[in-house]
Amino acid sequence: MEKQSFRRRAGEKLFSHISRDEWNDWRWQLRHRIRTLDHLREMFELPESDREAFQELIETYHMSVTPYYLSLMNRFDVTDPFRLQCVPDLRELQASSRCVDDPLQEERTMPVPDLIHRYPDRCLAMVTSACALYCRHCNRKRRWRNPEKFVSRDGLLRMARYIESRETIREVIISGGDPLMMNLNRLEWFLETIRAIDHVEILRIGTRMPVVLPMKITGDLCALLKKYRPLWIVTQFNHPGEITTEAARACEMLLEHGLPVCNQSVLLRGINDSHAVMKDLLYGLQRISVKPYYLFHCEPVRGTEHFHVDVETGRRIMDDFWGNISGLCIPRYVYDLPGGGGKVPLEACPSKKGL
Ligand code: SF4
């Protein structure tokens, strides 16, 4: 089992008046998220002079921090890797000539609203734009300019009909936002509808719940998902400190229900752009039986430039792992090409000595 970090214990002091039952109740966690500027100012030391700028920022890009994730961080350290991932930063509003809202041109590859179909054998359904916690580095933050949305039953049905009409689609990725924010009856109905299509072999759910709200991974949810196997879960741990007892338990429950769990990290400045942190993250994931799948190089998304790391740094970090740590721990370091060109590997070729 993972050790509880000192950060976690420090967080418990902040929430010491909360009962264990409340703390472990995902509904309580969602109700007590930081969602307003006043609440944000209460928790973090933000200069009064920046009040208007922060107001503009949270009106532009959603904000939400779960108490659980808040409990992991040192709130008063602006370099804290957990704080960096979820607390709005005024640099998100800085103009940039390099960055655009939708570098992957996802909005152009939707045959029906909210369904991206770029590769012949799979498609991606954005079933909601809501998330438990809004990651400041999110590559879909363009969608936060609109209110949180859950695709209607008709909209989901439109997606299902399209998928049914394209026999090359064998895998459907259910994404968002975070699909586990959906009403579970609606989610189950959608899974059942897609699973009934003959040529769909694999379902995949992209969710950051194990990392930001592990209480959401309940026995009931796992039992529901289990019915629609083969169903893969892809999550996003970016820092070894996110692998807490609760997160490990959430992944374990998914695995116990026959739901393989993979991880897609994003290479982020100040969070995991060091060899030591990345190695701890990869070892930690292997310890909890979560396969490191991809390490994404940040895309040029507007509002995320302060997280960007250059490719050479990313390569240096990853290349040292080849031949030095177990292959089971090594993700592919990739870049999703702007313009919708697909993923390309960025790691240099490992040594060919002995071939
Ligand atoms: S959970 Fe995923 S979709 Fe939601 S904000 Fe984070 S990266 Fe974006």
Residue-wise pLDDT tens digits, 87-107: 999 999 998 889 999 999 999
DSSP 232: E
- pLDDT over 70 at 11, yes or no: no
Residue with CA nearest ligand 1 atom 1: 208
In angstroms and rounded to an integer, the radius of gyration of the C-alpha atoms of the chain is 20
pLDDT tens string 291-335: 999 999 999 999 999 999 999 999 999 998 988 999 999 999 999
The mean of the pLDDT values for the chain is: 93
pLDDT tens string 134-157: 999 999 999 998 999 999 999 999
Banded pLDDT at 354 (limits 50, 70, 90): low
- pLDDT over 60 at 6, yes or no: no
DSSP 177: S
Alpha-carbon gap, residue 187 to 269, rounded angstroms: 35
Q: How far is the CA of 44 from the centre of ligand 1 (A)?
A: 22
pTM, two decimals, is 0.95
pLDDT tens string 177-209: 999 999 999 999 999 999 999 999 999 999 999
Burial class (CB in 10 A: 0-12, 13-18, 19+), 233: buried
- pLDDT over 60 at 1, yes or no: no
Q: How far is the CA of 346 from the centre of ligand 1 (A)?
A: 23
Mutate to test the pocket of ligand 1, among 84, 92, 106, 135 (most ligand atoms within 8 A of CB): 135
What is the residue extent of each domain of the chain? 6-93
Alpha helix (H) ranges present in the chain? Answer: 6-14, 20-23, 26-31, 37-43, 51-60, 67-70, 81-86, 153-165, 184-195, 209-212, 219-226, 245-256, 275-287, 311-319
Q: What is the pLDDT of residue 99?
A: 94
Pocket of ligand 1 (CB under 6 A): 131, 134-135, 138, 140, 176-178, 208
Banded pLDDT at 339 (limits 50, 70, 90): confident
Q: What is the pLDDT of residue 5?
A: 47
Alpha-carbon gap, residue 98 to 130, rounded angstroms: 27
DSSP 44: S
Residue type, 291: K
First to last CA, the chain: 40
